[in-house]
Amino acid sequence: MSRDNLASLKNPFLGLDFFLEAGKIFSENRYLPELEARYGTYGSTFQTNLFGTPSINTIEPENLQAVYSSNFKDWGIEPLRLPAQDPFCGRGFITTDGAAAEYSRALLKPGFNRANIVAGLAGLGKALEKMMGKILDDRGTYLGTSTEFLFGESFGALSNFSSEDSQAFTSAFDNAMFGSGFQIALGPFKFLYQNAKWREVCKTTHLFADKYVQKALKCRQSVISDSSFDRKTDQDESKSGSNSQPLLYHLALQTSNSLTLRNEILQAFMAAQGTTAALLSNVFFLLARNPSVWAKLREEVLALGNEEPDFDRLLHMKYLQNILKETPATTLALRLYPIFPQMNRIALRPTTLPLGGGPHGTSPTGTISDTSAHVLYRQHNSIWGANPQVFDPHRWDDENLRDGNSELRWRYMPFGAGPRACVGQV
């Protein structure tokens, strides 16, 4: 990597200038525009330094294919996440690599069957009706639907079950996530984060989740004691969509380890907590500012007549799908406002990247690969055209953006890519 692709550092040993600058631009809500500016200055692949750890920032499709697919075993997440998140949510699909991660994904997969997805859609409709009646922010609405899918009970702001325990849990969960994220940002200096309150909120989340784990284990015992129960039949029903149960139920049928169940369900809640709310918030934000798009979408909805907009009909509403593809995350896509605007991995062994990666073309163990989805999806190229910053649902009618386009695959990864792609995508 040439010197031209090394981001300017006032403190090249620890990269403190980048850390302090990041804090400043975060507080000023300028982080994403700043990322665009950096890539504009240094190019599509450049190196930075944070607390002595080299980081290769790249949006080159060839590099992304290597990190997330062809050389994915060389790149992982465990050294980045587990040390900071272990006291909060332990070992699970978000914090581990290798065989442990594969085991976690195998546990989760049966819970993401068609019946559960369809049942969740029905719950979403009820929550939306409540929201329109109460005119509340939608975070509480969709928090309730995610907890119903995961735990089997809804305890969002618009649910009928909103005890002090559930409110304490959601508050503690938010604080636990913030503390974990801050420690990840501190990297090798995470030991400086000595916060007794963080340990307390982690304990609060554990106690609350453990109640539901014990319920699931009791259900497991009653089901397994049924002489007619067959594990393979249950899994087959999950695949066919005839068995709708909360995710924790499916996990408990496969393991009786209460710690594993707690870790996996907390990590699943972490992944589900704000995604739908962020999606719809951004959709409403953009529709309110684009009345012509709103009018065309309304025409498509009214064309349903008295038909219920069920799972299959929603998937075949082309203009609706285009809007969702153009906004954040849904069953098919994200672009303008990615839910996760950055994706990173850490080199688990000495490896290489096709384009860049060090003065000799190698990425030593411990090197971080950092990709800005926000920048990747706003590039001026043959995929996104001359106006990538513009909200334009019609762009998805272009042949270049149809599913199966090999060039699109590594320029558009709404659910990640490769073996670690999102386990919940439909």
Q: Are strands 53-58 and 351-352 parallel, antiparallel or unpaired?
A: unpaired
- Per-residue pLDDT tens listing for the chain (426 residues): 444 455 555 556 667 777 778 778 888 888 888 888 989 888 899 888 877 788 899 999 999 999 999 999 999 999 999 999 999 999 999 999 999 999 999 999 888 877 777 766 666 666 666 666 655 444 445 555 677 788 887 765 445 445 677 888 989 999 999 999 989 888 888 888 888 999 999 999 999 999 999 999 999 988 877 655 555 544 544 444 445 688 999 999 999 999 999 999 999 998 887 676 777 778 888 899 999 999 999 999 999 998 888 888 888 999 998 988 887 433 333 566 666 678 899 999 999 888 864 455 556 677 999 999 889 988 888 888 888 888 889 888 887 787 667 778 898 887 788 899 888 776
Q: CB neighbours of 306 closer than 8 A, spacing ≥ 6?
A: none
Calpha distance 350→74 (Å, rounded): 8
Q: Are 132 and 121 in contact (CB under 8 A)?
A: no
Calpha distance 36→45 (Å, rounded): 12
Q: ∠ at Cα 28 (25, 32), nearest 5°?
A: 55
Q: How far is CA 31 from CA 14, 18, 35, 73, 281, in A?
A: 20, 12, 6, 30, 20
pTM score, whole prediction: 0.81
Q: Are 104 and 268 in contact (CB under 8 A)?
A: no
Q: In what order do the strands lie in the sheet with 342-347?
A: 45-50, 53-58, 368-372, 342-347, 75-76
Q: Which amino acid is at 123?
A: G
Q: Are 226 and 185 in contact (CB under 8 A)?
A: no
Q: Are 93 and 108 in contact (CB under 8 A)?
A: yes
Q: CB neighbours of 52 closer than 8 A, spacing ≥ 6?
A: 13, 14, 15, 188
30 three-state secondary structure: coil
Calpha distance 338→83 (Å, rounded): 26
Q: How high is the pLDDT of residue 3?
A: 45
